[in-house]
Amino acid sequence: MPKGFSSVILAAGEGTRMKSSTPKVLHTLGGKAMLAHVLDTVLGLKLDKNALVLGHGSDIIKDYLGTRAAYRDFKLVLQPQRLGSGHAVKQAAKVFSSYRGNVLVLCADVPLIKSATLKELMDIHKKQRNAVTVLTTIVPDPTGYGRIIRNGNGEMTKIVEEKDALAWERRIREINSGIYCFNAQKLFRILQRLKPNNQKKEYYLTDAVELFGRQKARIGTMLCGDYREVSGINNRRQLAEANCQLNQEILTALMMSGVTILDPATVWIEPTVTIGRDTTIYPGTMIQGQTRIGEGCQIGPNTLIKEAIIANGVEIRASFIYEAEIGARAKIGPFAHVRPKTLIGEEARIGNFVEVKKSRIGRGSKVSHLTYIGDTTMGAGINIGAGVITCNYDGANKFETLIEDNVFVGSNVNLVAPLKIGTGAIIGAGSTITEDVPPNSLALARARQVNKENWALQKKKK
Ligand code: UD1
Ligand code: CA
C-alpha cells in the first residue's frame, strides 16, 4: 500500500436529483449502500486516517454507521451548510492540522471505484510529487460533469463545471471523476482561498486546480480507462446504470468460476452471494444477501432467494425462498414459498403452491401440492397429500405440530396444532385432526358418507 495517505470522503450533499427522503448515499447498489461501497474500498487501502464529511441527512447516516462496527474508525465531520465540495473538504481541516502526508478525496456518490485504480492514483501522485492529481476519464456523454481543460501542451489548467462551461468546453468529453489526491498541507491552505464565483455560488473543490496552477504548484492527472468505474450517481437513472454495471461484473466473475447463467440481462446476484460450479441460473432470478449455493444446482426461472443456504444438486423452480436451508438434491417448486427458519432435508420435495414456515422437513419427505406447513417438525419418508393445512394459529397463539417418520397424510386434511402424529400413522383424506395420533394407526375424522338410492331420480320426477 502507498504510505503517507489519508482520505476524506464527501457525503454531505443533499442529492436533490434523487427526489428521495432517503439520503442519496444510502441508496443501494448490489444490496449495499453506495456509501458502504466507498467506505469498504477505503478500508481495504489501510490508510493513516479516514474522515467522512456528513451534512444533509447526517442523523440517518449516523444511525446507519452506528450499527456497523467496521466503520467505527471513520472520523465524522459535519458540514453545517451545503456550500460546495471545497467547503465540505475544508470541514475536515482539524483532523489533518498536524498531518504531513497526502489526502485522497473521494465522493460517496462515485461508488464503483476500484482499489487498484486508487492505488495507481496514489502512486502517480507520490512519484510526481504533485500538489493535486485528478483522476479523469473519458465519457460518451459528459453532461453534468466537470470538464478537464488542457492547454496547448496537453497540461490540465482547470476544471470547469457544466453550468459555468462555454459551448466549446461543454463538448470536451474528458471529465473530472470527483476523485483526487492532494498534498494535505497545500490542500487546506488553498481551500482558504476558494471563492464562490460561479453559477451555483458554491465553494468548488475543483477550483483548487486552477489556483495551484497559478502558484506554479505541480498538478497532474491520471486517466481511468473504464469510465463506468467512476460514474457519478446523481439521479435514479444513473443509479440503475451503476447497479447494472456492478451486477454484470458479478455475473461475469461467476461465469468465469464455472456457473452457467443463461440470460445475464435478467439475472441479479448480489456480491455477497457464492455459487458452486456447474450450477445453472435461469432467467428472471434474483439471489441476495449471504446466500450460499452449492454445485450442480438448477435455479430458476423466476426465482428469488435471499439469505439462504442451498446444498449441492438442488432444483428450485419459480419459487421464493428466504432465510432457509435446503438439503442436497431437494426439489423446490414451481411456485413454492419457503419462509424463514425452515430446513428442508436432503432429497425432500416441496411442490407447487406449498408454503413452509419455521419448519423442518426430513430427508426424502414430500409435500407436493397446495399445502401450508408452519411451526412443524417433520421426520423422514413422509408423504403429505394435496391441500393439507397445519392449523398452527388460533388467532392469538402459535402451536407446533410434530409428524414422525413415514407418516402418510391423505389429501385435504387439517392438522390442528398442538399435535403429534406417531411414526407410520395414516391419516384419512378430508380429516380434521385435533388429537394426537398413536404410531402405526389409522386416524379418520370426517363425517360418514350416506348414499340414498334413487333419491336423485325421484327428485327429477317431481
Ligand atoms: C462533482 C464535481 C465535478 C465532477 C463530479 C463527478 C465539484 C464542484 N464538481 O460534481 O467536477 O465531475 O462531481 O461525479 O466538485 N458535497 C458535499 N457538500 C457540499 C456539496 C457537495 O459534501 O456542499 C459532496 C456530495 O455529497 C458529493 C460530492 O461532494 O459526494 C460532489 O457533489 P455533487 O453535488 O454531487 O457534485 P457534482 O455536480 O456531481
Ligand atoms: Ca455527484
> What's 109-133 look like in SS3?
CCCCCCHHHHHHHHHHHHHCCCCEE
Residue 411 pLDDT: 98
Q: Grid coordinates standing for 319?
A: 419459487
Question: Is residue 405 within 8 Å of residue 424, measured between CB atoms?
Answer: yes
What pLDDT is recorded for position 177? 98
pTM over 0.85: yes
- The predicted model gives 315-325 an average pLDDT of 98
Enumerate the domain spans of the chain: 5-230, 257-443
What percentage of the chain carries pLDDT values higher than 70? Answer: 100
Q: pLDDT value at position 352? A: 98
Q: What is the pLDDT of residues 170-211, one digit of tens each?
A: 999 999 999 999 999 999 999 999 999 999 999 999 999 999
Report pLDDT digits (tens) over 68-113: 999 999 999 999 999 999 999 999 999 999 999 999 999 999 999 9
Ligand 1 atom 25: residue of nearest CA = 13
- Residue 239 has a pLDDT of 97
Angle at 60 between CA 57 and CA 65, to 5 degrees: 120
Q: 5-230, what's its fold? A: Spore Coat Polysaccharide Biosynthesis Protein SpsA; Chain A (3.90.550)
Banded model confidence at residue 451, pLDDT cuts 50, 70, 90: very high
Catalytic residue among 27, 56, 87, 369: 369
| Closest ligand 1 atom to 146 CA | 11
Going by C-alpha positions, the residue among 110, 52, 127 that lies closest to residue 226 is 110
Q: How far apart are CA 61 and CA 52, in angstroms?
A: 11
- Residue 296 grid coordinates: 450442480
User: What pLDDT is stored for residue 25 in this prediction?
Assistant: 97
Cα–Cα distance measured from residue 50 to residue 7, given in angstroms and rounded to the nearest whole number: 5
Residue 264 preceded by cis peptide, ω within 30: no
Residue with the smallest CA separation from ligand 1 atom 8 is 204
Mean pLDDT, all residues of the chain? 97
pLDDT of 314 strictly over 90: yes
Catalytic residue status for 87: no
- Nearest to residue 381, comparing CAs of 424, 422, 342, 350? 424
- pLDDT tens readout for residues 418-430: 999 999 999 999 9
Which ligand is closest in space to the CA of residue 10? 1
- Per DSSP (E only), the strands in 129-238 are 132-138, 147-150, 156-160, 174-183, 219-224
Q: What is the pLDDT, as a whole number, of residue 3? A: 87
Q: Is the pLDDT of residue 376 over 80?
A: yes
Quickly state the pLDDT bin for 462 (edges 50, 70, 90).
Answer: confident
The predicted structure's pLDDT at residue 339: 98
Residues 212-230: tens digit of each pLDDT = 999 999 999 999 999 999 9
Cβ–ligand 1 distance for 175 under 6 Å, the answer yes
Summarize pLDDT for 343-367 with one digit per residue, the tens.
999 999 999 999 999 999 999 999 9
- Nine-digit cell string for 6: 489519508
Topology given in CATH for the domain delimited by 257-443: UDP N-Acetylglucosamine Acyltransferase; domain 1 (2.160.10)
Q: Is the CB of 11 under 6 A from ligand 1?
A: yes
